[in-house]
Amino acid sequence: MRLDGEVADFSWNACLTPFSQRTQVLAALRHAVADQVAISRNAALSSGQPLVCSVTGTPIPSATELHIDHAAPTFLELAEYFIADNGGVDAFRILPDSGAGVSYIELEDKELEKRWQDHHQERAVLRPVLKRVNLSDLRRANGPGTTTP
pLDDT averaged over every residue in the chain: 86
- Per-residue pLDDT at 149 exceeds 50: no
* 3-state class (DSSP) for residue 33: coil
Can you say whether residue 87 is alpha, beta or left, with left for phi > 0 and alpha for psi between -120 and 50 degrees? left
Residue of higher predicted confidence among 104 and 88:
88
123 is a domain residue: yes
62 is a domain residue: yes
7 is a domain residue: no
148 is a domain residue: no
Task: Provide the residue range defining the domain that includes 91.
Answer: 20-142
147 is a domain residue: no
112 is a domain residue: yes
Instruction: Give residue-wise pLDDT tens across range 15-56.
Output: 677 889 999 999 999 999 999 999 999 999 999 999 999 999
* 148 in Cβ contact with 125 (< 8 Å): no
Domain total in the chain: 1
Whether the pTM exceeds 0.85: the reply is no
pLDDT above 90 as % of the chain = 69
